[in-house]
Each structure stands twice: as structure tokens, then as C-alpha cells.
């Protein structure tokens, strides 16, 4: 077992790659009673199109999310019931590029960890139950269709990445759900749910030697499965920004201004993490509540307390989205675009604000160190070198305003703007 030391934090990470390819990271946290684990699969909603053995395969939209649901369905036991019996809580979620299965507990860490590994690595797809699940997920889809904020986000992503699998809703549609078969699920599972395409991180109250022994023994029943698979990066059809309007029952209009980066270089490892954290700081400098630009827009009535932003830097794509309620969507979008386009000229005057924002961001990360769940969820281990919350803190502390300028230029030099508005139904 390899040991990665973080002397500034008096923390250690124990790392081992098992014979079947599963990457395991154990992080003992002194003084905590809880144990938290994340089994992460390098596969998400944007991966419905992929190349296997040189052949392009396209599966129905929403299949990654569907597969996540079906992993909890077993022939002769109830996964949630067993976790509850062991004093644990379990959940799962699907993002654009990952599917994460998690648990946390104060007791029976060994039993809960074995349960987590086994239920994810032992698929059970019954045709009748698959058909029944379609109705359950359809209800979920229709529920979100009536949520204006969800529709604003989903429609914005669809607008940015039209013609790609990223434009598909994570849960799919009623039409795509109807196409999913047991054979589709088996193919997706065999392609992506391989031990060498998974990472396990366990944090909190644990003995690394004892727990690694448990994991090694458990994984002897799951041999390595070599598959020749390539991900397909989303390449949007258009180079021009889109403007789209949807109508819903809302009391006030909503708007989102999007910035789709067209950066060709695929960033990974420390470089990718540094870019993402720097981009986060950049957005905070201009669009957080503590920024002078936010304050000006707020007092002009262009934005209000509903305003927020988020960034996504993932495998093969990156974008930023700024959204909120507004009485004048056109002014909302033009004001935000004006700020975004002026960022290169405004950055030199942000030296003092930059230090304040950096300290605040560092404070947020330090606060997360008090939670095994947060530490596990901040972990990313699909690259050769894992990135932890301690790496993030170190990178943030070393970022300079000149670094932010470079990151800003990389992101903004060739971005595609777009906007989506949710208008009141007439």
C-alpha cells in the first residue's frame, strides 16, 4: 500500500490498485466516529455514445441514470433495508460523467463497505422490473418538467450542446426510456462498470490495514475485465450562440446567460484541477455577492437574491452558467455579457478583491475537512494522480492574480455565449 502524506494537515492517504484494476484510497480521519465511502464509476449521462472495439455505439438517452436506479434492485434482498440494519445510509447520483454510489455510518463500516461493493458489482436485470422502473423514472422526469429552475438549467445545457449526448437530460425522456432494454443495460454495465473504471474512496473512522484486507478479499470474486472503450467528447454543431425562450407558469421571468468554452486542450490531473479552481475564483471575483460588479447589478435591480452561477469542468467539456429571476431578461443577459467581455481589462484592478475571495474560498474548503462525507465527495481519482481536498487547498493557496489572468484568457478567448429565458405563459 502506497502512503501519500499531507504534512501541512497531518493527514495521510493510503492508496492501492488491486489486481482487477480497482483504485482504492483510504483516508483515516482521527476524532471522527463516522465512516463515509464513495464508489465512483467513470460513466455518466454524457456517455450514451461511445466507441467499443472500434465500433461507434449509441444507446438511449438516460441509460446511465436508469442503470444507477437498477443497481439497487436485487432478486432476493433489499439494499436499503440492509444498510439500515447495519446503521448506514446509502444513496447514489448520476452526473454528466460519473455515477457515484455512497454510504455513511457510525457502526459496521466493514459490513456496509462489503454491501456497497457487492451490490454495485453484482447486476440483476429482470425484464418485468426494468419495465416497471420506466414508469417510476417517467414520474421523476415529469416532476422536473414542472420545475422552472430545473428547466432553465436543462434547456441551457441543451442549447449549448445541441446535437450531442450532453444535450440529453440526465434522466432521459419518456421516448428514450421506452427504448431501454435489458440488453442495453447489460452492454452499458459490461462496458463501464469494470473495476478498472471505478474508484473507491473511504474516509473517517477506519484502520487502513484492516480495511484494505477486507477490500482485497472482497475483490477476489470480481476479476479484471479488459475492454477496448473510448469516450466520445461532445462536439456542438454550432459556433454561434443560441437564444431560446420557453414558457411556463412562473410569477417572474427567469434567465440564464451561458459561456461555453471552446478550449480544445483536454485538461486533467493537477492541471485540470488548477484550471477549475482558478475558474471558480474568477467567477467569484466578478459574480459573487462580495464583488463590486454584483453589488452594482443588484442595486440597479438587474439581479436579485435568486442570482447564482455555476461552472462545470468535466471530461471533454466546460461551461459557466449565470442565472436568476429578472423582470428584464434582455438587460440581464446583456449586462452579464458586458462584464464577461470586460474581464481581461478589469482583472488588474481586482488585486485586493482577489486576496479576499481566495481567503474566503480557502475557508470554505477548510470547513469541509470537518466532514468525512465532504472529504470523500471532493475526491477525484480517475487520473494517474488522485486529487483530494488537501490538493485543492494547496492549489488555491498558491494561485496568483497572474494565474487567474491566464485561466481567464484560456476560458474567455474563444467562448460561445448563449441565453435561455423562461417567460410567463400568456
pLDDT at 192 > cutoff 90: yes
Mean pLDDT, residues 90-94 = 96
Give the confidence band of 10 by pLDDT, cuts at 50, 70, 90. very high
Cell of 317: 467539456
Nearest 5°: phi and psi at 173? -130, 170
Where residue 2 falls among pLDDT bands split at 50, 70, 90? very high
What residues act catalytically?
68
In the chain, the percentage of residues whose pLDDT exceeds 70 is 97
pLDDT given at position 281: 96
Cell numbers standing for residue 162: 445541441
241 pLDDT more than 80: no
In this prediction, residue 336 carries a pLDDT of 97
Q: Give all domains of the chain, ordered by start, each with its CATH number.
A: 2-231 (3.30.830.10), 243-424 (3.30.830.10)
% of the chain exceeding 90 in pLDDT: 86
DSSP code per residue over 96-151 = SS-EEEEEEESS-HHHHHHHHHHHHHS----HHHHHHHHHHHHHHHHHHHT-HHHH
User: What's the pLDDT score for residue 387?
Assistant: 86
Amino acid 109: pLDDT: 94
Dump pLDDT digits (tens) for 300-326.
999 999 999 999 999 889 999 999 999
pLDDT, tens digit (0-9, with 9 covering 90-100), for 243-262: 899 999 999 999 999 999 98
Distances from the Cα of 198 to the Cα of 17, 99, 193, 328, 397, angstroms: 11, 10, 7, 46, 30
What's the rounded Cα separation, in Å, for the pair 361 and 313?
18
Q: What is the pLDDT of residues 331-390, one digit of tens each?
A: 999 999 999 999 999 999 999 999 999 999 999 999 999 999 999 988 876 565 678 999
Segment among 48-57, 140-149, 178-187 with least mean pLDDT: 140-149
Contact 109, 90 (CB under 8 A): no
Round the average pLDDT of the chain to a whole number and report it. Answer: 93
Of 219-233, 265-279, 285-299, which gets the smallest average pLDDT? 265-279
- Per-residue pLDDT band for 237 (boundaries 50, 70, 90) equals confident
86-110 average pLDDT score: 95
Its pTM stands at 0.93
3-state helix, strand, coil in the chain (%, to 5): 45, 25, 30
- Note the helical H segments in 369-420: 372-377, 389-398, 401-412
193: DSSP letter: -
Bridging pattern class, strands 254-261 and 415-424: antiparallel
By CB neighbour count within 10 A (0-12 exposed, 13-18 middle, 19+ buried), where does 120 fall? buried
Contact between residue 227 and residue 194 where contact means Cβ atoms under 8 Å apart: yes
The pLDDT of residue 45: 97
pLDDT at 272: 84
Average pLDDT over residues 89-93: 96
Which pLDDT score is estimated for 362? 94
Model confidence at 264, pLDDT cuts 50, 70, 90, reads: low
DSSP string, 287-356: HSTTSHHHHHHHHTTS--TT-EEEEEEETTEEEEEEEEE-S-HHHHHHHHHHHHHHHHHHGGGGHHHHHH
Q: What local confidence, expressed as pLDDT, does residue 383 receive?
A: 64
Q: b or e along 76-92 (b: 16 or more beta carbons within 10 Å of the residue's beta carbon)?
A: eeebeebbeebebebeb
User: Do 149 and 310 meet the contact criterion of CB atoms below 8 Å apart?
Assistant: no
* Separation of alpha carbons 315 and 267, rounded Å: 8
Amino acid at each position: 500500500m502506497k502512503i501519500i502524506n499531507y504534512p501541512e494537515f497531518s493527514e495521510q492517504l493510503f492508496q492501492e490498485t488491486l489486481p482487477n484494476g480497482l483504485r482504492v484510497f483510504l483516508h483515516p480521519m482521527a476524532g471522527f466516529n463516522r465512516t463515509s465511502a464513495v464508489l465512483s464509476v467513470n460513466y455518466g449521462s454524457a456517455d450514451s455514445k461511445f466507441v467499443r472495439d472500434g465500433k461507434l455505439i449509441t444507446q438511449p438517452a438516460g441509460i446511465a441514470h436508469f442503470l444507477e436506479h437498477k443497481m439497487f434492485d436485487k432478486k432476493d434482498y433489499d439494499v436499503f433495508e440492509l444498510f439500515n440494519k447495519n446503521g448506514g445510509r446509502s444513496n447514489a447520483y448520476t452526473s454528466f460523467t460519473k455515477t457515484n454510489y455512497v454510504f455513511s455510518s457510525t457502526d459496521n463500516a466493514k459490513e456496509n463497505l462489503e454491501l456497497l461493493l457487492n451490490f454495485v458489482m453484482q447486476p440483476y436485470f429482470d425484464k418485468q422490473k426494468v419495465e416497471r422502473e420506466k414508469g417510476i423514472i417517467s414520474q421523476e422526469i415529469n416532476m422536473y418538467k414542472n420545475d422552472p429552475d430545473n428547466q432553465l438549467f436543462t434547456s441551457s445545457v441543451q442549447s449549448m450542446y445541441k446535437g450531442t449526448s450532453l444535450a440529453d437530460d440526465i434522466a432521459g425522456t419518456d421516448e428514450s426510456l421506452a427504448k431501454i432494454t435489458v440488453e442495453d443495460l447489460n452492454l452499458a454495465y459490461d462496458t463501464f462498470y469494470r473495476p478498472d473504471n471505478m474508484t473507491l474512496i473511504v474516509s473517517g473512522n477506519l484502520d487502513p490495514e484492516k480495511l484494505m484486507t477486507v477490500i482485497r478479499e472482497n475483490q477476489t470474486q470480481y476479476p479484471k475485465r479488459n475492454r477496448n472503450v473510448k469516450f466520445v467528447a461532445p462536439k456542438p454543431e454550432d459556433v454561434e450562440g443560441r437564444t431560446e425562450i420557453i414558457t411556463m407558469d412562473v410569477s417572474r421571468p427567469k434567465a440564464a446567460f451561458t459561456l461555453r468554452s471552446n478550449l480544445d486542450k483536454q485538461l486533467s490531473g493537477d492541471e485540470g484541477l488548477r484550471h477549475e479552481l482558478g475558474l471558480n475564483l474568477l467567477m467569484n471575483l466578478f459574480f459573487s455577492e462580495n464583488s463590486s460588479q454584483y453589488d452594482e447589478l443588484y442595486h440597479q435591480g438587474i439581479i436579485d437574491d435568486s442570482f447564482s452561477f455555476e461552472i462545470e469542468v468535466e471530461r471533454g467539456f466546460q461551461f459557466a452558467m449565470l442565472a436568476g429571476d429578472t423582470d428584464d431578461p434582455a438587460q440581464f443577459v446583456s449586462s452579464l455579457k458586458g462584464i464577461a467581455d470586460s474581464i481581461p481589462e478589469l482583472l488588474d484592478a481586482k488585486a485586493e478583491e482577489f486576496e479576499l475571495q481566495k481567503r474566503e474560498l480557502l475557508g470554505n474548503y477548510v470547513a469541509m475537512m470537518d466532514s468525512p462525507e465532504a472529504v470523500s465527495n471532493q475526491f477525484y481519482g480517475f487520473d494517474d494522480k488522485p486529487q483530494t481536498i488537501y490538493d485543492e487547498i494547496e492549489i488555491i493557496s498558491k494561485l496568483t492574480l497572474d494565474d487567474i489572468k491566464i485561466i481567464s484568457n484560456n476560458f474567455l478567448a474563444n467562448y460561445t455565449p448563449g441565453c435561455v429565458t423562461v417567460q410567463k405563459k400568456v
